[in-house]
Amino acid sequence: MAYQIPRGTADVFQEKSYSWQALEERLRQFCYLYNYDEIRTPIFEHTNVFKRENDSSDMVNKEMYTFTLPNSSTSLTLRPEGTAGTVRSFVENKMYANPDLPVKLYYMGPMFRHERPQKGRMRIFNQFGIECLGNKSPYTDVESIVLAFSILKSLGLKDIKVCLNTLGDDASRNAYREALKDYFKPYLEDLCSDCKRRYQQNPLRILDCKVDHDKEYMKHAPSMKDYLNEESKKYFDTVCQLLETLDIPYEVDDRLVRGLDYYSHTVF
């Protein structure tokens, strides 16, 4: 019997491991410069950390590695992303009581998703991310964008452009969700099965459908910018003005919602 690596995974050794170490060290240097501290969360968490009520994402509905402990009803899931575990730790360890908010954290390490392996997409993949918790500010948002932009530029990538959008505050986003439900209601029977589920759970996800994206009615769906209240407009205008001041090239993309719909305000 031949022993082979599972599909969707990879070995990292010799020269490749040196490249990984160099990249990880560069990421740590940038985080040190921007005053982010490292957090290391468990590779598995209780399933409800990731599977929140009414979550419409494909990651939660199709791609998680979930298992139940023997002789127990405890459900655990290998982490598919880093944000949820970081927020769980922020709450559980009462970091919100830190007098010096925001709490700025970074993580890097293996994540797990059961999806079809293809070039650039593995079932075990390594992810780097930052979280800035406890403060709502356009200045904080821009700092995150500049950090990401600076890291990519330092790696020698050229012609980098930031795709930018806003989801507004809770009131703006709720108004937009209702507008999308009203708009897509006449087309409900024509939507794919996933979008019928998204219609009930989170209609923002319909805008990212890979099955229905070429249909004519998708091109004329309402835009988030038409449902922003004054506070949200001012917030986003400040983000754009700061990026212009810092000479960060950006483009506003009204359809930029995928996987970002649980955030508030700026997405990029």
Number of Cβ within 10 Å of residue 78's Cβ equals: 20
Pick the residue with more confidence: 229 or 216? Answer: 229
What pLDDT shows up at residue 150?
96
pLDDT in tens, 96-144: 999 999 999 999 999 999 888 777 789 999 999 999 999 889 999 999 9
Dist. CA 14–CA 192, nearest whole Å = 46
Dist. CA 209–CA 257, nearest whole Å = 11
Mean pLDDT in residue range 84-91: 96
Mean pLDDT in residue range 11-17: 95
What pLDDT shows up at residue 47?
94
Q: Residue 1 pLDDT > 70, yes or no?
A: no
Q: Residue 81 corresponds to which amino acid?
A: E
Mean pLDDT in residue range 143-166: 94
Q: Which residues touch 231 (CB under 8 Å, ≥6 apart)?
A: 169
Three-state helix/strand/coil letters over 5-16: CCCCCCCCCCHH
pTM for this model (two decimals): 0.85
What pLDDT shows up at residue 62?
73
Comparing 10-14, 92-96, 105-109, 175-179, the range with the smallest average pLDDT is 175-179
Mean pLDDT in residue range 236-244: 97
The answer to whether residues 151 and 32 touch, using CB atoms and an 8 Å cutoff, is no
Q: Residue 162 pLDDT > 90, yes or no?
A: yes
Per-residue pLDDT band for 219 (boundaries 50, 70, 90) equals confident
What pLDDT shows up at residue 79?
96
Tokens of 26: 């560069």
Residue 169 vs residues 9, 94, 127, 229: alpha-carbon distances, Å: 39, 24, 27, 8
The H or E element spanning position 193 is helix 193-201
The answer to whether residues 9 and 123 touch, using CB atoms and an 8 Å cutoff, is yes
Per-residue pLDDT band for 190 (boundaries 50, 70, 90) equals confident
Residue % of the chain over a pLDDT of 70: 94
Q: CA angle 68-74-75, nearest 5°?
A: 55
What pLDDT shows up at residue 261?
60
Per-residue pLDDT band for 57 (boundaries 50, 70, 90) equals low
